[in-house]
Amino acid sequence: MPESTHGAGLQSDVDFDVIVIGGGIAGTVCAYLLARAGLSTVVIERGEAVGSKNLSGGVLYTHSMRQVFPDFVEQAPIQRRITRNYINMLNADSSFAIDYNDMSLAEPANAVSVLRSSLDSWLAEQAEAAGAFIMPGVRVDRVLLSEDEGVRRVVGVQAGEDQLHAHVVVAADGVNSFIARQAGLRGKEPLHNLAIGVKSVIGLPASTIEDRFGVTGDNGAAWAVVGDCTEGLGGGGFVYTNKESLSIGIVLRLDALAQSGKTTTEVFDHFTDHPLIAPYLAGGELLEYGCHLIAEGGLKMLGEIVSDGLIVVGDAAGLTLNTGLTVRGMDLAVGSAIAGADAIRQAIAAEDVSRSGLSAYRSQLLESFVGKDLKTYATAPDFLERPRMYGDYGQLLAEILHGAFAHDLTPRRHLATIARAALKESPVKLKSVIGDAVTGARAL
């Protein structure tokens, strides 16, 4: 889409100031802020109700949400406050883990586990209470475009036989955003920039969860697993504790999955049946199961997010960040909603909703924690693509630790000697270990 060289004044006849496409976190938070600022706003959601199409749950880092809702942790339908972070390198019959348990993470809650269906529904209620109009069960077919002096501008949406016009349209329609594609802002993403997440929710009594995961009260645990959970494919597994359920799943890079010939169901079942994982799920009831695409490219997926009459937020803008220790998306979505709503408010007040008039969105996003964190971890996706991260290192660590802990009548050796012997037998060589350590320290 050509870049406008002049301001785009406001349309004289619109149905709403702003149309938000998508009722996820980015869309509903953006709508809440716009409505609170006095702009007429509608959220168009193709699900029967906001939250009905959002699968299971995850960990939400609360800092950005508390900017919007200061009492978020006390008022929203959160599950547990994450005080225990467990990082596990899983092998076929062994594992190596880092267990970080810190009660100070509970006050104020640094991170919480959530179930998206209930959280998104609550956010829609807040947006509606602020004055936004929620329109569920409606699929947007395309954006409406007008052309002036060779510049195409988004002026509304087509939904079935109906047309709605607005000064600005917000694309919050997920990682495979057809709105951003239609507007010419995104092309087809390469497979290595995408992953597929397979998730389920397993119901268990609260007391069982607390006993098995070593938490009490409303505190919870977040597990990040790498290695045999994905049968050595690029990606990882996770387990998050809810009040009376577990969110468990895997994330598989699409390029690695395509090359393997495996199915997502096979890999997911392998993870849940693993002898070191299955006991934590024993006796549970399957409550929910599904899969969806996930952005994996980090900063290089951000691309163009502003056009004449249009901005792109949340997953639709590729805002997911995998640091190797944490996987973040929801807090970045909130950050984009804050920056987007502020830029839209300024543009409408200035009666200039051209690309130039809305450009404050991109600059504010990059200057916020979202842009700064994406830049900090810009090389993390490339580092995490290295195949030896998903099997060879776990086996190497297991061999070293086996030599340290398996006592018999053989005279003991220093740990350095054990490590050298294990390296000789491992496909991972010392040069690779040193290189990965240096690169990983810079990337993560």
Dihedral, 173, 5, 364, 377 alpha carbons, nearest 10: 70
Take residue 236 and report the two structure tokens written for it: 């990882």
One domain, residues 217 and 348:
no
Quick one: 142 and 242 in the same domain? no
DSSP assignments along 125-157, one per residue: HHHHHHTPEEEES----EEEEEEETTEEEEEEE
Amino acid 297: pLDDT: 87
- Domain for residue 236, yes or no? yes
CA atoms within 13 A on the CB side of 357: 23
DSSP readout, 221-259? Answer: EEEEEEEGGGTT-SEEEEEEE-SSEEEEEEEEEHHHHHH
Q: How confident is the model at residue 3 (pLDDT cuts 50, 70, 90)?
A: very low
CA distances from 361 to 309, 310, 368 (A): 12, 11, 10
Domain match, 210 and 180 both? no
Write down the pLDDT at residue 5: 42
Do 166 and 223 lie in one domain? The reply is no
Question: What number is the average pLDDT over the span 170-191?
Answer: 91
Residue 190: pLDDT over 70: yes
Last residue of a domain, one of 383, 405, 428: 383
Say if residue 142's pLDDT is above 60.
Answer: yes
Asked, for residue 228, whether it belongs to a domain, the answer is yes
Domain boundary among 275, 291, 307: 291
Please give the Cα distance from 139 to 149 (Å, whole number). 31
- Cβ-based neighbours of 152, under 8 Å, separated by 6 or more: 1, 2, 145, 146, 308
In this structure, are 279 and 414 located in the same domain?
A: no
Q: Is 90 a domain residue? A: no
How many residues in total does the chain contain?
Answer: 444
Question: Are residues 177 and 241 part of one domain?
Answer: no
Q: Which pLDDT score is estimated for 4?
A: 46
| DSSP conformation class of 101 | E
pLDDT band at 149 (very low <50, low <70, confident <90, very high): low
Residue 11 has pLDDT above 90, yes or no: no
At residue 2, does pLDDT exceed 60? no
Percent of the chain with pLDDT over 90: 82
User: What CATH number should be reported for the domain holding residue 148?
Assistant: 3.50.50.60
Contact (CB, 8 A) for 319 and 171: no
Q: How far apart are CA 140 and CA 331, in angstroms?
A: 26
Q: Cα–chain-centroid distance for residue 277?
A: 23
Q: Which residue has the tokens 């939904």?
A: 159
For the cut 60, the answer to whether the pLDDT of residue 7 exceeds it is no
Please tell me whether residues 68 and 167 are part of one structural domain: yes
Which residue among 262, 291, 320 closes a domain?
291
Q: Which SS3 state, helix, strand or coil, does residue 317 take? A: helix
Assess whether 180 and 305 both reside in one domain: yes
pLDDT tens digits for 89-124?
A: 999 999 999 999 999 999 999 999 999 999 999 999
Q: What pLDDT was estimated at residue 8?
A: 64
Q: Domain for residue 75, yes or no?
A: yes
Shared-domain flag, residues 58 and 123: yes
Report yes or no: 43 and 34 within 8 Å, Cβ to Cβ. no
Do 82 and 61 touch, CB atoms closer than 8 A? Answer: no
Residue 85: inside a domain: no
pLDDT digits (tens, 9 = 90+) for 39-55: 999 999 999 999 877 76
Residue 92 maps to a domain? no
Determine, yes or no, domain membership for 3. Answer: no
Asked if the model's pLDDT at residue 38 lies above 50, the reply is: yes
Q: Answer whether residue 1 is part of any domain.
A: no
Give yes or no: residues 247 and 343 share one domain: no
* Number of domains within the chain: 3
pLDDT at position 152 is 87
Please state the rounded mean pLDDT for residues 129-151.
91
Q: Which of 132-136, 235-239, 252-256, 296-300 has the lowest mean pLDDT?
A: 296-300
Clarify whether residues 108 and 73 are in a common domain: yes
Res. 1 pLDDT band, cuts 50 70 90: very low
193 is written with which tokens?
A: 């920039």
Q: What is the pTM of this model?
A: 0.93
Q: Report, as an integer, the average pLDDT of 54-59.
A: 80
Q: Are residues 323 and 344 in the same domain?
A: yes
Whether residue 6 is predicted with pLDDT greater than 50 in this model: the reply is: no
For residue 187, name the pLDDT band (cuts at 50, 70, 90). confident
The domain in which residue 132 lies consists of: 16-79+104-186+297-383
Asked if residue 369 has pLDDT above 70, the reply is yes
